[in-house]
Structures are given as C-alpha cells and as structure tokens.
A and B are shown apart, each in its own frame.
Chain A
Amino acid sequence: MDSARSDILARIRAVPRRQPAPVPRDYDTARSVEDPVGLFVERVEDYRAVVRRVSEDELPQRIGDCLARRGVSNMVAPPDLPESWRWAGTRWSLDEPPLSLSEVDSADGVLTGAAVAIAETGTIVLDAGARQGRRMLTLVPDYHLCVVRADQIEVSVPEALRRLDPTRPLTFVSGPSATSDIELDRVEGVHGPRTLEVLVVDI
C-alpha cells in the first residue's frame, strides 16, 4: 500500500509542470434580486414541492394543517425540535435516545428546520445542526416537512457556501427525490422522501 502511494506521487512528480495562471474569480460571488424569499418559493415550486409562506405566530397552526391534510399520525423529529412545533394531533418520536432504523422507517414523516437555503436554485441545506438531527431522519421517511426562516435564505450558491461549515455532514435538498432515468420523464420519488413540503417563515 505504501509503495502504491509513493509510486503514484513519484509518477506525478516526474511530469514537468508549469504553474498555471491564477484562477480568475470574476464570476458573481453574490447576486442581488428584489425578492429573495419570493424567488426561493418560486424555485422550490418548480421541483413540484409544496411551499407556503407563514408568519412566526401562525407557524404551529400551519404545521398542524400540513399534518392533518396528509393524515399522518406518527412523526419523527430531531431532539431539539421546539415544543410549539409538535402539533398535538400527532404522535411524536424524538431521536433521543437514537431511534432504530426500523422505527424511523415506520414513521409517516419527519419535521425539521434547516441550516441555509439558496433562492436561485430552490435548495435547502441541512447540516445536522439545530432542529435538523442526523441525516437518516430526513432520508428514510416518505414525507419531509421543513421549516425555513426567511433570514436563512441566500440568493446564490457562493453566498450559501460561505455560511456553511464543510466539516459537518451536509445534505443539499432541491425538491423531492426524483428520477429522469426512464425516457427522461421526471418522476418524483424513488428512494428519498417522495413528498417535500416547505414552510417559509417571514421574519
């Protein structure tokens, strides 16, 4: 194994190389749009996800509306999910102590917050931080309800990446699971959650 390492490095070093020109960074590292929240909503909808804008006060009720409409009775959630988000009509299993895979698999859905969102691409980024829990929670259940605060929304990819810590496990979610492998027809849901609903909280 060690000899493979030194062989490969030696082969690379044997190639005569010039230092290339510096990387031109004249692309847009930030972009401004009039209404980033509106753009985010529009772009997430393009992936056929359901998005609603709500106020801070009405958030618990609107979470309840979503769960009732879907008829779910059994939700999983990260341990630090705010008490007020846990709508009373549903049974909540918090991931503490850690739920087993089969417990997560048998849940109807999961409710989380987010770390950052990207308006231009309609992307939600999860970093296993506050109100998000570990990666398995947002992956295995078939329904993901996600709360994004308006001040978490950045316009472009470069702006969003600046706010993230690369050493955390990151998941970028752009719409529900989808495939275009059969005649390039977009079909929602193969293995990840087939339904993604987003509540955007205006601050």
Chain B
Amino acid sequence: MGRNPVTWLGSPTFPRAARTALGDTQLRTNLRKATTTIRAKRARAVAELADWERLRRAGEAIKNDVLANLDTYLVRLEEAVTARGGVVHWARDAEEANRIVFDLARAKGADEVVKVKSMATAEIGLNEYLRARGVRPVETDLAELIVQLGNDRPSHILVPAIHRNRSEIKEIFSRAMAEPPDSDDPRVLAEAARRHLRRRFLSAKVAVSGANFAVADTGSVVVVESEGNGRMCLTLPETLITVMGIEKLVPTWRDLEVFLQLLPRSSTAERMNPYTSVWTGVTPGDGPGEFHLVLLDNGRTATLADEVGRQALRCIRCSACLNVCPVYERTGGQAYGSVYPGPIGAILAPQLAGDMTDKQAASLPYASSLCGACYEVCPVRINIPEALTHLRARAVEARPKHTAEALAMSSAGWVFRDPRRYEAAQRAGSLSRFLAGSDGTIKRLPWPGSKWTSTRDVPAVPKESFRMWWRRNRG
C-alpha cells in the first residue's frame, strides 16, 4: 500500500506554511472578504429556523447511529443498490478505489471522464491517478475548473477557488480556453466556462461523482450542487461511477429531512441549494444505464476505532467551520497541505493519513487557537476543540523522546516532585521579569524559549510567588 494522498506530498508543516501565507496580503484580503460575507449570510439563514438547535441534535444523533451500526447499514445499502440494478464495489484504500474507477472507465473505452466536484475523489488523488494512465479527468464545477486550469490546489471545501479574485480567474481562463473571456465580470467568466464545458457534457461516456448522502434503506444516493454541472454528469453519460466514503450514510429516507435543512444553510448559507439530485440504482430510459457505487474506507475504519477522534466521521462537508475559524481566515486552506483544510481538516486529515510520526500531519492539530467557534457552527455538533487536544496528545506520544520539549517536560517533572526544588525554580523564574518591557510582557526569550516567543508574547513572572506572599503575611 502506498502513501495516503489525503495530505499533499512535500507540504511543509503548518507553522511554516502559515508563515508564508500570512505574508500574502492579496490572499488575506480575498479570504477576509469571503469569510466575513459568508459568516453573516449563514447567521441569517440559520436564524430563520426556530428549531435549528433541535435539528443539530438530531443530525448528531443520526450520524452517531450510523457510526455505531455502520456494518449493518453498509450491507443494507449494498442490497438496496444491487436490487435496483446498481453495482457496489468496496475499496480499502486510495489505490484500490482508483483502480476500480480506472478499470471501469477503461472498460467503456473512455479517454476522458467528466467529474462532479467531490471531496472523496480529491482525497484519493483520482485525477492524478487517471491522468498518469491516459484518462483525462475534466472538473466541471466552476471553482474546480479554475483550480484545474490554473494548475493550482483547492483552498476551501465548498468554494475551492476562494483564494482567487476575478482578474486572476480571467487570466487563468484566457491562457487555457479556446475562446478566452473578454472581461473579468463574473457573468462573462461563468459564460466562458459554460461554453468550454458544454460539448464535453454532451459527448462524455463516463462520469465520476461523489455523494453527499446515501440512504441505507432505499439505496438512494444524493448529490447537492448549484450549477447544474452535477445534474449534467449524473444524467447524460451512459456510465456513472460514484465514489463515497463509507460514513456518508443515513439510515432512512426520513433522515434526509434533517440534513437537507442543515447542509445548505450551513454551507452556502442558502435556504436550499439550486439543485439536489436523488437516484436509486438505474432507471431504464432515464439517465445512465450503468451505475457503480464505490464504498471507500481509506482510513475511516481506523478513525472509527478512536473513541474521541471518530466524531470527525459525522462531518457532512458543509465547511461552516472554515468560515468562522480565525486561523483559516488568515492562512487560507493551502497552508494545511491537505485535501481537507480548516478546523475539520485539522482533525480529519491526520486521522485519515493515519501516521502521527509524519511531521506535517502531526502539525495540523496545532493549527488552532481552540476558540471553539467551529464547534458552535457545526451542524452535526462535532466537538472539534476536544478532538484537537486529543490528537495533540497523540502527536506528542508519537514524537521521538529526545526532543527539547520532551527534555523540558521531564526536567519540569523533576522540579515539581519536590517542594524545595519547586520554590527555588519559582525564585529563579521571577528573575525573568528583567526581560520584560514596560508593559509587563516578554517579547523575546533566549533559546530554547525563543521558539515560543517567536509567535507570541509571554507575561513576565511576578516578583513574588503566592507561597512567598502567604509566608510573609500569614506564616
């Protein structure tokens, strides 16, 4: 088994990537505008529903039920899809899933596949896999197209080109399209994308999609989108291949009444997204004659085994947590070096990658101020701060034992074990106030403390400890 492509090969650790991103003022301007706009819109959309909190609790409980009975529901889904003329495949990892999709496309003689925007296929690096074997993947979501044509990487779960402004997009289109747009008006740019993709939709033989939900009882698969590119891919080609993480189930049709309210309002801050498609197996005479559903594990069962970390599998990929996160707002998504950026990415990506000895993956749980805003907006109540601190502990455990931090911690333990040593250390510590400025904070400590103060100030230690004060006044 190869390396899991969920984190990008060669990405620097988060602190290093963040430092670079913070220096990009254009990026910060784009991001601030986008996240502030969407935050305000979302708050209005959510305020319309008086039962929002109850919907969140129901969403959380339904997904917990799914995780507790995942084997039962997966088998039920498989039966229902098969009974309606679909074919179900199981994939343990990225390599296996990619090979299934490639073999199916090849069997149809397709040298091009049209794609609906999908986090699952991004997670397994499907595009790279297909391209290396002579099958051209064509992204059809406008933002994914911008990213693809710009040889760029996505920076947001929902609006992957959020880091680009209109003039940058015009430039990318002008370079890549046969009929370049003649202005940077979003209307003109969207029209250029329409023309660019129209013929491909009408001639494609094979389409690849993800799934927002699948209903175990009925075998129905759901894709939520805005532009109609999803409907094009799900309707016109002869063969449809859907790659779906095994956790994206809901048990019954009725459960969708919860998620079709939670998802659009949390993600695009709309009452409902423009298009939602639901299909069950194949319908003769209407849509693809062949339907394949690939059930993807790729680190999910390992995540399920972690009692605290498993709640990340409740995620419905709405990206509300990105838009409220002060860290994401300043660094953008690419700094996370993973398919899943932002707060959810910080807990999902390292778990799916499954390797806490990897410095980049292990740095992600630290990409947070633990302010808790992500937990508050999450429509399925994932306690992201709790998972972050839990994963930080796992990252520390996985670290080699001779680091500066490990040494410091073990000497601190030695100091804390003896009251006399502790008081002596306190007296020594209070000397550090001579390093402080007039505002009582220390801007720069000598090494190794400099690693701490390079990103934050430290309050000076008071002249007198509580123990000394107590002895002087009450002793």
Contact = CB atoms under 8 A, between A and B. Distances in A.
A170 B260 CA distance: 14
A190 to B, nearest CB: 4
Interface string A36-53: 000000010011000000
A35 interface: no
A8 B89 CA distance: 12
Interface string A75-94: 00000000000000000000
Interface string A128-145: 100000111001100000
Contacts of B246: 8
A112 interface: no
A71 interface: no
Nearest to B144: A181
Given A139-B228, A179-B142, A179-B190, A11 B275 contact: no
A15 interface: yes
A177 B287 contact: no
B141 interface: yes
Contact of A161 (B71, B197, B256, B273): B256
Give the most central of A4, A5, A101, A166: most B CB within 10 Å.
A166
B92 A7 contact: yes
Given A4-B90, A191-B227, A22 B61 contact: yes
B22 to A, nearest CB: 21
A192 interface: yes
B279 A187 contact: no
Given A161-B256, A180-B159, A181-B143, A121 B272 contact: yes
B272 A174 contact: yes
Contact of B287 (A1, A122, A135, A178): A135
Interface stretch (B2-10, B11-19, B49-57, B382-390): B49-57
Contacts of A183: 30, 33-34, 165-166, 186
B142 A181 contact: yes
Contact of A139 (B75, B235, B270): B235
A191 B228 contact: yes
Contacts of B295: 8
Give the most central of A20, A161, A173: most B CB within 10 Å.
A20
A176 interface: yes
A22 B60 CA distance: 11
B227 A27 contact: no
B84 interface: yes
B142 A172 contact: no
B226 interface: yes
B274 A174 contact: yes
Interface string A15-36: 1011111111111110000000
B334 to A, nearest CB: 17
Give the most central of A161, A175, A190: most B CB within 10 Å.
A190
A21 B275 contact: no
B149 to A, nearest CB: 13
Contact of A5 (B55, B61, B90, B143): B90
A28 B51 contact: yes
Contact of A167 (B84, B194, B232): B84
Which bracket fits the contact residues of A? 35 or more
A11 B295 CA distance: 14
Given A11-B297, A27-B55, A181-B142, A192 B90 contact: no
Interface in B138-196: 140-143, 146, 159, 161-162, 165-166, 169, 186-187, 189-190, 193-194
B280 interface: yes
B58 A24 contact: yes
Interface of B: 30, 33-34, 37-38, 50-51, 54-55, 57-58, 61-62, 64-65, 67-71, 74-75, 84, 89-92, 96, 140-143, 146, 159, 161-162, 165-166, 169, 186-187, 189-190, 193-194, 197-198, 201-202, 215, 218-220, 226-229, 231-232, 235-236, 246, 253-254, 256-258, 260-261, 264, 268, 270-280, 283, 285-287, 295, 297, 301-302, 304-305
Given A14-B305, A170-B279, A192-B275, 19 more contacts: A8-B92, A11-B297, A23-B62, A27-B258, A166-B215, A167-B220, A167-B280, A169-B277, A169-B278, A169-B283, A169-B287, A170-B278, A174-B272, A179-B227, A181-B161, A182-B142, A182-B169, A190-B229, A191-B232
Query: Which 8 pairs, one residue from A and one from B, show the smallest C-beta to C-beta distance?
Result: A192-B228, A11-B301, A191-B228, A172-B276, A121-B272, A190-B227, A134-B286, A158-B257
Interface of A: 1, 4-5, 7-9, 11-15, 17-29, 43, 46-47, 98, 101-102, 105, 118, 120-123, 128, 134-136, 139-140, 157-158, 161-162, 166-185, 187, 189-193
27 contacts: A9-B75, A12-B70, A15-B304, A19-B68, A21-B61, A26-B54, A28-B54, A29-B257, A46-B271, A121-B264, A122-B272, A134-B287, A135-B231, A135-B277, A161-B256, A166-B218, A170-B279, A178-B274, A179-B227, A181-B142, A181-B159, A183-B186, A184-B34, A189-B194, A190-B194, A191-B227, A192-B231
